[in-house]
A and B are shown apart, each in its own frame.
Chain A
Amino acid sequence: MDADARLAALIAARATAAGVAWLDRAVDAVATGAAAIATLFPAAARHVGRGGLDAPGATLRAPTGEEVPLAAWRVDDAARVRLLLAAGRRDPAGALALADDLYRHGDARERTGALRALSFLPCAATDAAALPAVQDAMRASQGELFEAGICENPYASRHLPQHDWHKAALKVAFVGLALERVVGLAARADAAFAQSLVDLACEREAATRPVPPAMWPIAARFPPPGLAAKLLGYLEHPSPDHRAAAAAALAALVATDPRVRPFLADRAAREPVPAIRQTLSRAVEA
């Protein structure tokens, strides 16, 4: 089943029959050039709805190979992706520039839809025409818009220059989104990015504000001085999220810093959460 058919099926499970019929007509009209996407794109939500797509665990395969999770998508996002896919069938080379234009003229929901479409459009691997839209979303202060720009978005991760990617991924951690939602995080993270994460943790600790735990496994790949001691402290944190992240990070550190091993063993003996205990025990044995 291609991306369009798969989205159509997911939408059909959530929208009314009239809404589905409207969308099918709109998709045909865009694909044949009979109607302008510029006025159909904003109208989509009124026909298909705005609720969650409600497809936890569902993914959509991008032409570049990534399986993109749809958990954060709404029904109108899926409908707008269908419209852009139709435009892409009509004019493959212009699809990403069109998505950028629709983003530029869209409200927050339309912009989110345009961003979610980027990875599925023709030439997504090579055409950076929609990069300005992603860069705009990076600067957005509206949660869902920012999220659609950088989370589960292979197009963004592929085309953002390193400096922009660094700032966008750091903002993911800063606003409390899960870092692992950034596609290709491991591949693009470098020492400078890891340092930014550690600086964020220090800033939060100084302000007695919460630290996003997901940063530690990334930081551990490029450990600054003192990281091991800081993580060992988090191993005693009352929150299992913090202990789990610290354990995963320390498991990566133990190969280069064997001093931490006895502390991992000590905690493993007292750790009540089985998954964390297992991470610690494996690290001790490694």
Chain B
Amino acid sequence: MRIFEPHAHMFSRITDDYERMALGGVEAILEPAFWLGQPRTHVGTFLDYFDTLVGWERYRAAQYGIHHFCAIGLNPKEANDDRVNAGVLAEMPRYLEKDGVLAVGEIGFDDMTAREETFFAAQLELARTHGLPALIHTPHRDKKAGVARTLAVLKDVGFPYERALVDHNNEETVAMCRDTGCWVGFSIYPNTKMDEGRMVTILERWGTDKMIINSACDWGKSDPLKVARTAAEMRRRGYDDEGVAKLVWHNPIAFFAQSDRLLAHDLDQRPVVDGELWQGNSILRGQGA
């Protein structure tokens, strides 16, 4: 089973997680930019983080044969912080032209403030300018209202629904997302958000078209193998290989391929095999000598 993990915050994970994900079938990861637990107080801190997403993290993943892509964006929490919000947006265009940057994200609402809405709409414009789809976070609290307002912003700015992945859905929000034609994302978590069994029940009701699941794996209690575990639950409940592959491989590729920067055949080549070089890379500790 090949897995394209479409939402994993590897910055907050240890290297062993990459190894476990590789063993679990993960061949590609998309890492959206998010917050760092502690609020940032300088634009430069964001830029260092973005540089890590397009640099070291990509390289770290390659050590385990995993392709690493990312989404660049100002997250909704820090969109509220005037020390950084406008400055980060001003620096984003140069990042949005980089290879491996397949979307703008995660953007959207957290507390549903006016600032969040301003920077959400502005980043949808950036996505349009740079030909990228958008990966959209929805609030943890007041989820239903948050998703409704998210969809309203997409409509107001005229952002094409098929280029929007609205994430962190649950049973209460699937219907309204489906009505618009946007891609519907689910973060499979231990305890909160969505679990494997509930997810498969949703798939049984709504089908797998334009559905995307992820493990999010972030700072909180989370599990980078949740996509693989959900795939196992799908099998247990009667899905065949093709049905599983559509959800965990073909759907995320179809969504992010809208960037024109993701070529499916590139994914057929592993970025690195033990001892071999990807883009000439090998951690320079002299072990190759």
Contact = CB atoms under 8 A, between A and B. Distances in A.
A114 to B, nearest CB: 13
Interface string A40-81: 101101100010000000000000000000000000000000
From A50, A143, A147, residue with most partner B Cβ within 10 Å: A143
- Which label, helix, strand, loop or mixed, suits the secondary structure of the A interface? helix
B208 interface: no
Contacts of B100: 107
Given A143-B277, A175-B289, A107 B94 contact: no
B55 A107 contact: yes
B235 to A, nearest CB: 37
Interface in A62-117: 105, 107-110
Nearest to B279: A144
B284 A107 contact: no
Contact of A175 (B59, B95, B288): B288
Nearest to B286: A174
B94 A141 contact: no
Contact of B99 (A107, A175, A176): A107
B275 interface: no
B253 to A, nearest CB: 18
Contacts of A174: 284, 286, 289
Nearest to B98: A42
Contact of B284 (A105, A109, A143): A143
A274 interface: no
Contacts of A38: 93-94
B286 A39 contact: no
Interface stretch (A204-212, A225-233, A257-265): A204-212
A142 B277 CA distance: 10
Given A42-B94, A42-B99, A142-B59, A109 B286 contact: no
Given A42-B94, A141-B284, A143-B284, A109 B99 contact: yes
| Interface of chain B: mostly helix, strand, loop or mixed | loop
B283 A109 contact: no
B286 to A, nearest CB: 5
Interface string A17-52: 000000000000000000000111011011000100
A142 B100 CA distance: 17
Contact of B279 (A42, A108, A141): A108
A171 B284 contact: yes
A77 to B, nearest CB: 11
Contacts, number: 70
Nearest to A139: B284
B279 A109 contact: yes
B97 interface: yes
B276 to A, nearest CB: 11
B261 interface: yes
Contacts of A146: 284
A144 B281 contact: yes
A212 B289 contact: yes
B244 to A, nearest CB: 32
Contacts of B279: 50, 108-109, 144
B47 interface: yes
Interface in B264-289: 277, 279-286, 288-289
The 8 closest A-B pairs by CB, nearest first: A144-B280, A176-B289, A107-B54, A42-B97, A42-B98, A38-B94, A43-B97, A39-B97
Given A105-B51, A174-B286, A175-B282, 8 more contacts: A107-B51, A107-B99, A110-B98, A144-B281, A174-B284, A174-B289, A175-B286, A204-B289
8 contacts: A40-B97, A105-B51, A109-B99, A110-B98, A141-B284, A174-B289, A175-B284, A176-B286
Interface of B: 47, 51, 54-55, 58-59, 93-95, 97-100, 261, 277, 279-286, 288-289
Interface of A: 38-40, 42-43, 45-46, 50, 105, 107-110, 140-144, 146-147, 171, 174-176, 204, 209-210, 212
